[in-house]
């Protein structure tokens, strides 16, 4: 893109190659004009890799050290301990840190983890204990260590701990992505700065992204919101971004994405990540479609579509063609999706484990076999002489060691001929196999599966709209019945229902042209899908700004008083000032210095600084004046990325 004129000069897309990300990245720019590539002054990367890893429960091995409090395990680490310690709301130590217990635990996980998360009770008021445990971990283990206070200044021990675990799990994921991108850029002679998009839609430098990869969660849909506005000129709209793994829904109001005040929710888990308010649903073009008993199920797991796999590996197509002669009979429902064994699903090895003790002997034999080519579990079991249910596929997928090949929404379009870009014959064979298991015709299978996708997208949209409008999505049976009548456009015995959405929908992503248009038809609203909607995310990524914020909490020593000492808490440390005015001016000064230094280190120029003040007051009684309880001061610096020139 020419950033001065805003003109898109050329575009390209390539499939994600998880076994080696650089292959897919290289494929996306290989056909670009070489002379144009020589003129590139800045590169910006928006990736759904972090979001997808969280949604799919993937990532590296993490040890968690909790100080002074138990954790609710909404996001599970691989190893964990609780040690004595912690502070109170004023930052005063309430229990001394048990360094010996922390050291003993960290010694026990040496060589067994890839990252460490450290969180302390009320560490946002005083991070001393977290810092001391981090130093011990660095001394014992040669892995990244992240503390809760480094990621968030907000209260909420469990949410902060979940964020910290996510961050530790994502460090190698994002590091691998950045290294892959830079390797390809170097091949093409591009030496421009690499910027990474954050969850709030702004950019950060690669060094900060490696340290805090969790901040890239939801950066994909955040960039799509910005790109959607750029492409259509619509400043008030609903944006639905359908990718391979997820569909992300956000709302533009007056040209700005609304930020989630309490922190982003990913896969139903509350975090302390500052991000655009996005509803993320595990339904995308590559989502797994399976049959359990006679039920068609949409799964959040991303798999390689049969049509794409058949184009890459001839053995996949051969296997699928053989299934046409296989007799199937109804099978009882399994207790879980992970236990459903389907012959149309195959697996391939992405990488071998660093530590073979991570997996069983049977799983190690399977990984070795799958390095040759994809196999179904029944095929692999016959070759290895091992019952297929012995393999722990959930664990192997969770560690990112294998990738599943199977039926997807993309295959449905190939099988019916709506969208044919790869091997449609493999998709048709997969549909025929699954339709026999359900006991319907292939045409009926496609219709029912597409209806489930349509309903899922519509329900997820209404969840977001209703949650914002009324504060929750707790439907009574009557409310659920009315919603489904409106979505299905099917009358009941005595009444019909219709819902009209009063904002246009902007579709982003390659599948948007088909699936998102359905949603507009259901809710009687306009749908915008432009010729560049397939790269709307990339457009948003390159047109955003470098930004960094820091928050200060100012609290009076005497509640309700302003002419007294004030305590100030932030991730930069705790301070005391003689009065409110000094506390405000010093916090702003310190904040300005910190955020300007941060965006400058990320390569920003033309920097502007804004200060937002939010006073929290408490009304004593009816007719009485309110008193000041605390002030939240947020200092933000923003600038455009400095462009590289050949003279540099």
**262-320 tens-digit pLDDT:** 676 666 667 777 777 877 777 888 999 999 988 999 888 889 999 999 999 999 999 99
- Mean pLDDT is lowest, of 219-233, 302-316, 520-534, for 219-233
**Is residue 230 within 8 Å of 539, Cβ to Cβ?**
yes
Q: How many CB atoms neighbour CB 489 within 10 A?
A: 11
pLDDT recorded at residue 619: 65
Task: Report pLDDT digits (tens) over 101-153.
Answer: 999 999 999 989 989 999 999 888 888 999 999 999 999 998 889 898 888 77
Q: And the tokens for 591?
A: 């904040």
Average pLDDT over residues 171-200: 87
Reduced 3-state DSSP string for 71-112: CCCCCCCCEEEEECCCECCCCCECCCCCHHHHHHHHHHCCCC
Task: Report pLDDT digits (tens) over 49-103.
Answer: 777 777 666 678 899 999 999 988 888 899 999 999 988 887 888 999 999 999 9
Q: How does strand 256-257 pair with strand 265-266?
A: unpaired
Q: In which band, very low, low, confident or very high, does the pLDDT at 261 lie, cut at 50, 70 and 90?
A: low
Confidence check: pLDDT of 648 > 50: no
DSSP 563: S
Nearest to 303 by CA among 244, 381, 242: 244
- Sorted by where each begins, the domain ranges of the chain are 9-217, 222-345+407-543, 546-641
pLDDT recorded at residue 55: 65
Which span out of 206-210, 236-240, 535-539 was modeled with the highest average pLDDT? Answer: 236-240
Confidence check: pLDDT of 624 > 70: no
Confidence check: pLDDT of 636 > 80: yes
Q: How many CB atoms neighbour CB 270 within 10 A?
A: 17
In 131-217, the DSSP E strands lie at 145-147, 194-197, 203-205
Q: In which band, very low, low, confident or very high, does the pLDDT at 647 lie, cut at 50, 70 and 90?
A: very low
Task: Report pLDDT digits (tens) over 354-379.
Answer: 888 888 999 999 999 999 999 999 99
Q: And the tokens for 276?
A: 């655009």
Task: Report pLDDT digits (tens) over 150-172.
Answer: 887 777 888 889 888 888 888 88
Model pTM?
A: 0.69
The helix, strand and coil proportions of the chain, stated in percent and rounded to the nearest 5, come to 40, 20, 40
pLDDT recorded at residue 201: 80
Residues paired with 621 in a beta bridge: none
Phi, psi of 302, deg, nearest 5: -85, 130
Which CATH code, of 3.40.50, 3.30.1490, 3.30.420, 1.20.120, is assigned to 222-345+407-543?
3.30.420
Residues paired with 374 in a beta bridge: none
Nearest to 370 by CA among 383, 360, 354, 355: 383
């Amino acid at each position: 893109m020419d950033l001065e004129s805003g003109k898109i000069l050329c575009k390209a897309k390539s499939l994600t190659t998880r076994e080696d990300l650089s292959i897919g990245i290289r494929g996306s720019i290989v056909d670009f004009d070489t002379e144009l590539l020589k003129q590139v002054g800045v590169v910006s990367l928006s990736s759904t890799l972090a979001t997808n890893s969280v949604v799919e429960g993937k990532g590296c091995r993490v040890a968690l050290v909790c100080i002074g409090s138990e954790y609710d395990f909404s996001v599970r680490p691989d190893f964990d301990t609780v040690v004595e310690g912690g502070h109170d709301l004023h930052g005063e130590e309430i229990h001394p840190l048990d360094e010996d217990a922390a050291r003993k635990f960290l010694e026990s996980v040496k060589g067994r983890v890839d990252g460490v998360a450290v969180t302390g009770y009320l560490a946002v008021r005083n991070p001393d204990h977290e810092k001391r445990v981090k130093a011990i971990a660095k001394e014992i283990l040669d892995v990244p260590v992240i503390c809760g206070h480094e990621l968030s200044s907000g209260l909420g021990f469990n949410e902060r701990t979940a964020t910290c675990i996510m961050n530790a799990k994502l460090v190698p994921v994002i590091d691998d992505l950045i290294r892959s991108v830079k390797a390809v850029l170097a091949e093409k002679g591009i030496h421009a700065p690499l910027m990474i998009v954050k969850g709030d839609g702004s950019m950060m430098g690669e060094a900060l992204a490696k340290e805090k990869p969790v901040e890239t969660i939801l950066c994909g849909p955040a960039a799509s919101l910005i790109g959607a506005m750029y492409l259509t000129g619509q400043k008030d709209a609903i944006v639905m971004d359908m990718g391979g793994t997820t569909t992300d829904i956000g709302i533009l109001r007056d040209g700005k994405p609304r930020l989630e005040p309490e922190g982003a929710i990913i896969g139903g888990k509350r975090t302390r990540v500052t991000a655009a308010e996005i509803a993320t649903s595990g339904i995308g073009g590559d989502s797994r479609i399976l049959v359990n008993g006679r039920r068609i199920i949409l799964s959040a797991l991303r798999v390689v579509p049969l049509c794409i796999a058949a184009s890459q590996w001839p053995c996949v197509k051969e296997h699928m063609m053989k299934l046409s002669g296989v007799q199937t009979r109804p099978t009882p429902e399994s207790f879980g999706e992970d236990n459903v064994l389907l012959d149309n699903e195959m697996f391939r090895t992405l990488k071998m484990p660093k530590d073979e003790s991570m997996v069983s002997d049977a799983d190690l034999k399977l990984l070795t076999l799958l390095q040759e080519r994809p196999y179904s579990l029944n095929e692999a079991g016959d070759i290895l002489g091992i019952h297929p249910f012995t393999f722990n596929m959930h664990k192997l997928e969770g560690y990112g060691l294998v990738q599943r090949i199977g039926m997807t929404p993309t295959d449905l379009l190939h099988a019916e001929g709506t969208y044919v870009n790869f091997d449609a014959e493999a998709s048709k064979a997969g549909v025929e196999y699954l339709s026999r298991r359900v006991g319907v015709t292939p045409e009926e299978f496609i219709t029912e599966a597409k209806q489930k996708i349509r309903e899922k997208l519509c329900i997820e949209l209404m969840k977001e709209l209703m949650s914002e409008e009324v504060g929750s999505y707790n439907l009574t049976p009557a409310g659920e019945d009315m919603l489904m009548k409106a979505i299905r456009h099917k009358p009941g015995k005595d009444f019909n229902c219709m819902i009209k959405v009063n904002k246009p929908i902007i579709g982003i992503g390659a599948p948007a042209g088909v699936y998102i248009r359905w949603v507009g038809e259901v809710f009687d609203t306009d749908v915008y899908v432009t010729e560049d909607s397939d790269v709307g995310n990339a457009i948003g990524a390159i047109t955003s700004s470098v930004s960094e914020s820091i928050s200060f909490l100012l609290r009076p020593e005497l509640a309700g008083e302003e002419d007294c000492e004030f305590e100030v808490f932030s991730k930069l440390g705790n301070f005391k000032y003689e009065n409110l005015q000094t506390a405000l001016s010093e916090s702003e000064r310190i904040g300005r210095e910190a955020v300007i230094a941060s965006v400058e280190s990320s390569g920003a120029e033309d920097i502007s600084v804004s200060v937002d003040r939010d006073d929290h007051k408490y009304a004593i009684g009816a007719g009485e004046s309110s008193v000041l309880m605390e002030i939240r001061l947020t200092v933000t610096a923003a600038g455009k990325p400095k462009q590289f020139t050949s003279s540099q």
